[in-house]
């Protein structure tokens, strides 16, 4: 920002807080100072700094290295805002631990204590709170359909019984919000994908160490656009897979993903002799992922995916469901694992009898 006056031109010598680019400038400075430690020993998001260690004996060494770096650049920490030796804590509005990610109870409490919104500002505030925790809520968009109608410019409606019912249903769901499990390295992911005429739904999960139980990692759903809904069922499945892979890129890029759906979009995209414009584009986008199609007729996860894809919303208004700081920073490519992807995945399926375990208890939440 520059000021032009009668006495000359004045500008800031440092970036003050309050300006639009202050956050990005601060983050860029942190990356410059801690680039060799980030995503290995520490994580930095603007002014939130996390020192992490796998073993207790390594934690002291990591902290000492962090303090030396802070002292070198004359940076200071507020002791009242520091926590040491914690195995879990609040990070970016979520309760994060080694094994799970939970919704911050304070954010849930704020929604539970909200009265029924009446004005447009109050409605947008309510939807904004839901947007932040939307990855924890299955079929959120269909549930909020009556509320979305209130924001239409051409034909706005007033708060009615349907809106109140949706409002109370969300509150009831949040009385016991689900717990999401971060993916563990070394085990394949499972993606249940259901595609309907005008919408799709998906659930990303992973087996635990016993290979007898599945844990949810991410819920997601989407309504097709007008031109996407005119695709054939197979092309809609391909379109849904591409969108899902892009949305879950930070998970799927580093894991083998077992795709479970009624049709095999992988075979259609990569074995089609003549490729049209969009098929060729989808092939390029999916070529970086390790996705293997697995046939399964009846599993609970597929039922949840069907449920997410159901109830298409005529006046769909997409919600922003980006998780803060959820990006890819480091990818280690194992060429040996990628050399025989199909054979290795089939070996895993045979060894652990995946077709048997998929029919057992699955920790998906469905209301």
Q: What is the pLDDT of residue 68?
A: 94
Segment 273-329, tens digit of pLDDT? 767 788 888 888 999 999 998 876 544 445 455 545 554 434 343 433 344 444 444
Going by C-beta distance under 8 Å and a sequence separation of 6 or more, which residues neighbour residue 14? none
Structure tokens at 189: 């992911």
Residue 56's pLDDT is what? 82
Q: Produce one character per residue of 118-137: b if its CB has 16 or more CB atoms within 10 Å, e if not.
A: eeeeebeebbebbebbbbbb
Whole-number Å distance between alpha carbons of 115 and 105: 18
- The length of the chain is 367
**pLDDT computed for residue 252 by the predictor:** 92
pLDDT at 306: 54
- How much is the pLDDT for 155? 67
pLDDT of 336 reads: 45
Q: What domains does the chain contain, in order, with CATH numbers?
A: 2-76 (no CATH), 102-175 (3.30.70.270), 189-309 (3.10.20.370)
In this prediction, residue 234 carries a pLDDT of: 87
User: What is the predicted pLDDT for the residue at 297?
Assistant: 54
Low-confidence stretches of the chain (pLDDT < 50) are 298-301, 303, 307, 311-342, 344-367
Q: What is the pLDDT of residues 28-56, one digit of tens each?
A: 999 999 999 998 899 888 888 888 888 88
Instruction: Write the Ramachandran bin of 84: left for phi over 0, alpha for psi from -120 to 50, otherwise beta.
Output: beta
CA dihedral 300, 304, 305, 311 (to 10 degrees): 140
pLDDT at 197: 81
């Amino acid at each position: 920002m520059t000021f032009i006056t009668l006495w000359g031109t004045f500008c800031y010598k440092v970036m003050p807080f309050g300006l639009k680019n202050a956050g990005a400038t601060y983050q860029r400075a942190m990356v410059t100072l801690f680039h060799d430690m980030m995503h290995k020993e520490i994580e930095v998001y603007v002014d939130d700094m996390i020192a992490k260690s796998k073993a207790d004996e390594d934690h002291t060494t990591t902290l000492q290295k962090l303090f030396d770096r802070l002292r070198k650049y004359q940076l200071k920490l507020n002791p009242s805002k520091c926590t040491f030796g914690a195995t879990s804590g609040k990070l970016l509005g979520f309760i994060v631990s080694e094994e799970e990610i939970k919704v911050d109870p304070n954010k849930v409490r704020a929604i539970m204590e909200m009265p029924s919104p009446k004005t447009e500002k109050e409605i947008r505030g309510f939807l904004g709170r839901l947007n932040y925790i939307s990855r924890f809520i299955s079929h959120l968009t269909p549930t909020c359909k009556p509320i979305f109608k209130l924001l239409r410019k051409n034909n706005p409606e007033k708060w009615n019984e349907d809106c109140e019912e949706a409002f109370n249903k969300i509150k009831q769901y949040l009385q016991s919000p689900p717990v999401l499990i971060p993916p563990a390295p070394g085990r394949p992911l499972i993606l249940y994908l259901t595609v309907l005429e005008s919408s799709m739904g998906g659930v990303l999960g992973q087996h635990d160490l016993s290979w007898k139980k599945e844990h949810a990692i991410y819920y997601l759903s989407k309504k097709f656009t007008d031109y996407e809904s005119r695709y054939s069922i197979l092309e809609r499945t391909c379109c849904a897979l591409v969108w899902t892979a892009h949305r879950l890129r930070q998970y799927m890029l580093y894991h083998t993903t077992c795709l479970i759906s009624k049709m095999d979009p992988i075979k259609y995209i990569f074995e089609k002799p003549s490729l049209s414009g969009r098929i060729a584009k989808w092939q390029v986008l999916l070529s970086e992922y390790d996705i293997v199609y697995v046939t399964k007729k009846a599993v609970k996860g597929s039922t949840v995916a069907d449920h997410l894809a159901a109830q298409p919303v005529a006046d769909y208004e997409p919600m922003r469901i980006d998780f803060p700081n959820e990006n890819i920073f480091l990818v280690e490519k194992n060429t040996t694992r990628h050399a025989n992807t199909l054979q290795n995945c089939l070996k895993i399926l045979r060894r652990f009898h995946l077709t048997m375990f998929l029919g057992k208890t699955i920790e998906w939440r469905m209301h």
